[in-house]
Structure 1
Amino acid sequence: MDEIHLLEDFLYEAIFQRDENNLLPRDIIRQPELSVYINDFGRTDDHCLVAQCDGKIVGAVWARIITGKVKGFGNVDDSTPELAISIHKEYRSKGIGTNLLKSMLHLLKEFGYTQTSLAVQKDNYALKVYQSVGFIIIEESEEDYLMLCKCSEIM
């Protein structure tokens, strides 16, 4: 995939930032708990889909099984791929993210995965999108939900 270098940008944009006037520094993606989503991307269990509009890549959804000392925020076990998704701001609320999510869920099902997971902050606008495609809340912390989608339930 020629777009691997774009994952850094999409990872940064995937971070839910409440205060647009006080954004986190871009190098935050170098922290281990974030960099696990993109480091050495392209392994056997890594999958990525992108959305294009007018010849420009405007969104990405990627999934990988994260193992090792540092786990992802949405980790449920060592055999469940964890999803991350990001759409450029100007292309949000147009159905692109929903379509990317659905496409990734079908792809994971084709590869034989039984489920996939993600983490989302409770006040993130994307929560409803995740629920609309089949993710359910399986765990709750003060700020986040851990969500799971059973691939067998994907039509």
Structure 2
Amino acid sequence: MNKTPSILIREIHPQEYHLLEEFLYEAIFIPEGVERPGKEVILRPELAVYYKDFGKESDYCLMAESKGEPVGAVWIRLFPECGKGYGFVDVRTPEVCMSVLPSYRNKGIGTALLNTMLDSLARRGFKQVSLSVDEENYAFRMYGKAGFETVSTDGISATMIKKLNT
């Protein structure tokens, strides 16, 4: 049985870049019983690096759209040594961020977004991709199923890498 609703996966439009702030906020994993922080949390410099000034040549984002509305996003950024993200590996490895709006989760949209992005990155010649994920987050298992392997952990969050077939 296919649980995926009618979804269009497409590249983000420049006028939608601001939506990455909302998708980043939704990507923040909050363990059960912990109060969700206010949206101002994404203004912290260590989180703002994921969306601030998006649209550089090395930035790339795919959106999942249902009935004309964005319901999910997966995007990559290449980070310098200074100003790097949580899943930073090196300056040549893009780091992935992904989020699906809560009411659209567990329908296969995240997996479809991720697979489409991984295919695109391989076609663009990237050798690998990285990410950071809380080990209690349900997405941790999804990334493992997609071929990501943990390369470091602090006991809470894992940095994972997926080698790409180029």
Please give the TM-score of this superposition, normalised by the length of structure 1.
0.94
2:146 to 133, 149, 155: 133
The amino acid that maps onto 1:29 is I
1:30 alignment partner AA:
L
Structure 2: segments with no counterpart, 5+ residues: 1-12
SS at match of 1:13: helix
Distance in 1, Cα, partners of 2:142 & 2:155: 21
1:104 maps onto 2:122 in alignment: no
Cα distance between partner residues in 1 of 2:148 and 2:91: 19
Unaligned runs of 5+ in 1: none
SS class of match (1:42): coil
Runs ≥4 residues deviating over 2 A: none
Query: Percent sequence identity over matched residues?
Result: 43
1:80 aligned to 2:93? yes
1:4-83 correspondence to structure 2 within 5 Å = 4-19=17-32, 22-83=35-96
CA contact (8 A) 2:94 2:128 kept: yes
Change (3 A) 1:112 1:31: same
CA distance in 1, matches of 2:89, 2:106: 29
Q: Please, which of 139, 149, 153 is the counterpart of residue 162 of structure 2?
A: 149
Deviation at 1:67, TM superposition (A): 1.3
Q: Which amino acid is 1:59 matched to?
A: G
- Cα distance change, pair 20–26 in 1 and its aligned pair in 2 (3 A): farther
RMSD: 1.3
Letter paired with 2:76:
A
CA–CA distance in structure 1, aligned partners of residues 30 and 80 of structure 2:
26
Residue 113 (1) aligns with residue 129 (2): no
Aligned-partner Cα distance in 2 for 1:111–1:20: 41
Q: Which sits farther off after the overlay, 131-140 or 83-92?
A: 131-140
Report the Cα offset of residue 19 of structure 1: 4.0
Preserved contact between residue 81 and residue 90 of structure 2 (Cα < 8 Å): no
